[in-house]
Structure 1
Amino acid sequence: MDFAKRLYQRFSSLVHELAKFGSIGAIAFLIDFGLLNLLNVVIGIGPLTSKVVATTISTTFAYAGNRFWTFRHREQSGLRREYFLFFLLNGIALLFGMLTIGFTTYTLNLHDALSFNIANIVGVGLGTLFRYWSYKKWVFMEATDPIPVELPEGGVKPGR
């Protein structure tokens, strides 16, 4: 029992961060998945165009969720810089989805909704691994100074 407690204490911040990242990612996935199927299967827009549009919208949600909840304890290096890097890295991660959907649709010649969605899920899974690693490394960097959890004794003094 003591070993489990020490293990949890050592990795608790990582576990919490991964849980938050996963929650935001799950909601972003639902947005992406729903829009992707609406655009491609229901409306009939091409599979790759549908993927780009759905990913752009779900990425905007994911940025806000990750910046202001998952990685809020990390240093902020400027909204423009973070937003640019976030979308650049998501653009790279989008390639995983584009490749799996393109391969399934145009190389394997599978045009049914099930094959389309399986390809999307595989691409999202690969992209998620890349995104988590790259967000921590380049977008939401580790704070150089500890970020205070609460206000100091006496609160904030007026005029400062």
Structure 2
Amino acid sequence: MRLATALYRRFAWLIHELARFASVGAVAYVVQVAATNAFWAVLDAPPLVGQGLGTVLSVIVAFLGHRHWTFHQRARTGLHRESTLFFIMNGVGMLIQLLCVWVAVYVLGFEGQLATNIAGNVVGVGLGTLFRYWSYRRWVFPAAEGPEENAKNREKAETRRG
């Protein structure tokens, strides 16, 4: 039990950041899936167009959530810089999703909404999410200091408040 407690204390900052990242991502995911399927079903959009438009809407939701909640404690490098890098990194993430849809539909020959949902909204989002988390922490919302220093600073601030 001590090992688990020690590990939690050591990585609490990361666990909490990942939980916030996952929460914002879940909301953005619901927006993306709902919008993508609406574009496909209501507007009869082609697979890649519907996927792309749904992803763009979810990126806007994700930026607001990540900037103001997930990575709020990190260095502020300017709205223009952060939003530009965020949308570039999400462009790469969207390309990962679109590549998954393209492979499923045009290479493997899968047809129908279920196949495109699995390819784009499960496999593509999963791979894109790994890339996004890494790139946000690395370039979009960089740490002012190292992770340990940020964790220590947060602990000191919480101790002063408590």
TM-score by length of 2: 0.87
Structure with greater Cα Rg: 1
1:25 matched to which residue of 2? 25
2:141 matched to which residue of 1? 140
Cα distance in 2 for partners of 1:47, 1:115 equals 10
Is 1:63 the counterpart of 2:55? The answer is no
CA deviations 1:24-70 (Å, max 9, x no partner) are 00110110011111101332111111111111111011001001000
Local SS of the residue matching 1:143: coil
1:156 matched to which residue of 2? none
1:103 matched to which residue of 2? 103
Count of residues paired in the alignment = 152
1:72 matched to which residue of 2? 72
Give ranges in structure 1 of 5+ residues lacking alignment.
154-160
List structure 1 segments (4+ residues) > 4 angstroms apart after TM superposition: 145-150
Cα distance in 1 for partners of 2:98, 2:5 equals 43
Cα distance in 1 for partners of 2:86, 2:54 equals 16
Give ranges in structure 2 of 5+ residues lacking alignment.
none
Summarize the alignment of residues 18-57 of structure 1 with structure 2, pairs less than 5 Å apart: 18-57=18-57
More helix by share: 2
- 1:21/1:66 contact within 8 Å kept: yes
Is 1:4 the counterpart of 2:4? The answer is yes
Cα distance in 2 for partners of 1:33, 1:64 equals 18
CA deviations 1:55-112 (Å, max 9, x no partner) are 1111011001001000000011000000000000000011111011111122222221
TM-score by length of 1: 0.88
Query: Structure 1 stretch 99-108 or stretch 59-68: which is displaced more?
Result: 99-108
Per the TM alignment, residue 149 of structure 1 is displaced from its structure 2 partner at its CA by: 4.4
Cα RMSD after superposing both structures:
1.9
Cα distance in 2 for partners of 1:57, 1:118 equals 19
